[in-house]
Amino acid sequence: MKLVIAIVHDEDSQFLVEEFTVNNLKVTKLASTGGFLKSGNTTLLIGTEEKQVDKVIDIIKNNCETRKQIVTAQSPVSGASGAFIPYPVEVKVGGATVFVMDIEKHLKL
Protein backbone atom coordinates (compact mmCIF):
# COMPACT_ATOMS: atom_id res chain seq x y z
CA MET A 1 0.00 0.00 0.00
CA LYS A 2 1.14 3.54 -0.79
CA LEU A 3 0.20 6.98 0.46
CA VAL A 4 0.34 9.75 -2.14
CA ILE A 5 0.48 13.26 -0.67
CA ALA A 6 -0.21 15.98 -3.22
CA ILE A 7 0.02 19.69 -2.42
CA VAL A 8 -1.89 21.63 -5.08
CA HIS A 9 -3.16 25.15 -5.69
CA ASP A 10 -6.71 25.77 -4.42
CA GLU A 11 -7.89 26.55 -7.96
CA ASP A 12 -6.94 23.02 -9.09
CA SER A 13 -8.24 21.07 -6.11
CA GLN A 14 -11.95 20.86 -6.95
CA PHE A 15 -11.41 19.37 -10.42
CA LEU A 16 -8.73 17.06 -9.06
CA VAL A 17 -10.96 15.66 -6.29
CA GLU A 18 -13.77 15.13 -8.82
CA GLU A 19 -11.40 13.25 -11.11
CA PHE A 20 -10.27 10.98 -8.26
CA THR A 21 -13.91 10.29 -7.39
CA VAL A 22 -14.79 9.42 -11.02
CA ASN A 23 -11.84 7.00 -11.05
CA ASN A 24 -13.00 5.37 -7.79
CA LEU A 25 -9.97 6.58 -5.83
CA LYS A 26 -10.46 7.64 -2.22
CA VAL A 27 -9.07 11.05 -1.28
CA THR A 28 -8.92 13.17 1.87
CA LYS A 29 -8.73 16.94 1.35
CA LEU A 30 -6.98 19.25 3.83
CA ALA A 31 -6.71 23.04 3.66
CA SER A 32 -3.14 24.35 3.81
CA THR A 33 -1.25 27.56 3.16
CA GLY A 34 1.87 28.04 1.07
CA GLY A 35 4.85 29.69 2.71
CA PHE A 36 6.16 31.69 -0.26
CA LEU A 37 3.04 33.48 -1.50
CA LYS A 38 1.02 32.78 1.66
CA SER A 39 -1.84 31.74 -0.61
CA GLY A 40 -4.32 28.91 -0.27
CA ASN A 41 -3.22 25.40 -1.09
CA THR A 42 -4.92 22.07 -0.70
CA THR A 43 -3.15 18.97 0.57
CA LEU A 44 -4.64 15.73 -0.71
CA LEU A 45 -4.02 12.35 0.90
CA ILE A 46 -4.62 9.38 -1.40
CA GLY A 47 -4.18 5.86 -0.07
CA THR A 48 -3.87 3.34 -2.90
CA GLU A 49 -2.36 0.08 -4.02
CA GLU A 50 1.11 0.26 -5.56
CA LYS A 51 -0.21 -0.62 -9.04
CA GLN A 52 -2.47 2.49 -8.96
CA VAL A 53 0.26 5.03 -8.10
CA ASP A 54 1.08 5.86 -11.73
CA LYS A 55 -2.63 6.42 -12.43
CA VAL A 56 -2.87 8.78 -9.42
CA ILE A 57 0.18 10.75 -10.60
CA ASP A 58 -1.20 10.98 -14.16
CA ILE A 59 -4.49 12.38 -12.82
CA ILE A 60 -2.55 14.99 -10.84
CA LYS A 61 -0.43 15.93 -13.89
CA ASN A 62 -3.50 16.32 -16.08
CA ASN A 63 -5.37 18.57 -13.62
CA CYS A 64 -2.66 20.79 -12.10
CA GLU A 65 -1.14 23.22 -14.57
CA THR A 66 1.50 25.78 -13.75
CA ARG A 67 0.57 29.31 -14.75
CA LYS A 68 1.98 32.77 -14.31
CA GLN A 69 0.49 35.25 -11.86
CA ILE A 70 1.36 38.84 -11.00
CA VAL A 71 1.78 39.48 -7.25
CA THR A 72 2.95 42.48 -5.28
CA ALA A 73 6.18 41.92 -3.39
CA GLN A 74 5.79 42.11 0.37
CA SER A 75 8.05 44.06 2.71
CA PRO A 76 11.04 41.84 3.60
CA VAL A 77 10.89 42.74 7.30
CA SER A 78 7.88 44.26 9.00
CA GLY A 79 8.64 47.49 10.79
CA ALA A 80 11.93 48.00 8.97
CA SER A 81 13.11 51.57 8.78
CA GLY A 82 13.35 53.23 5.40
CA ALA A 83 11.02 53.15 2.48
CA PHE A 84 10.00 49.94 0.79
CA ILE A 85 8.08 50.40 -2.44
CA PRO A 86 6.22 47.24 -3.44
CA TYR A 87 6.20 46.43 -7.13
CA PRO A 88 4.49 43.69 -9.14
CA VAL A 89 6.44 40.48 -9.71
CA GLU A 90 5.54 37.64 -12.07
CA VAL A 91 5.68 34.20 -10.41
CA LYS A 92 4.69 30.67 -11.39
CA VAL A 93 1.78 29.20 -9.43
CA GLY A 94 -0.10 25.94 -9.67
CA GLY A 95 1.38 22.60 -10.46
CA ALA A 96 1.75 20.07 -7.68
CA THR A 97 4.25 18.80 -5.16
CA VAL A 98 3.82 15.04 -4.78
CA PHE A 99 5.22 12.60 -2.25
CA VAL A 100 4.76 8.82 -2.49
CA MET A 101 5.30 6.89 0.74
CA ASP A 102 5.21 3.23 1.73
CA ILE A 103 2.51 2.32 4.25
CA GLU A 104 3.42 -0.36 6.73
CA LYS A 105 -0.11 -0.94 7.99
CA HIS A 106 -3.57 0.21 6.93
CA LEU A 107 -6.55 -0.01 9.27
CA LYS A 108 -10.08 1.16 8.67
CA LEU A 109 -11.88 1.23 12.01
At 38, the pLDDT band (50, 70, 90 cuts) reads low
Indicate the range of 10-14, 25-29, 95-99 predicted with least confidence: 10-14
Asked if the structure places residue 7 within a domain, the reply is: yes
Kindly report the pTM of this predicted structure: 0.74
Asked if the structure places residue 83 within a domain, the reply is: no
Asked if the structure places residue 107 within a domain, the reply is: no
77: pLDDT strictly greater than 70? no
Q: Residue 54's pLDDT is what?
A: 97
Asked if the structure places residue 109 within a domain, the reply is: no
How many domains would you assign to the chain? 1
Q: Residue 9's pLDDT is what?
A: 86
CB 91 within 8 A of CB 71: yes
Asked if the structure places residue 6 within a domain, the reply is: yes
At 73, the pLDDT band (50, 70, 90 cuts) reads low
Residue 8 belongs to a domain with what CATH number?
3.30.70.120
Range of the domain at 12: 2-77+94-102
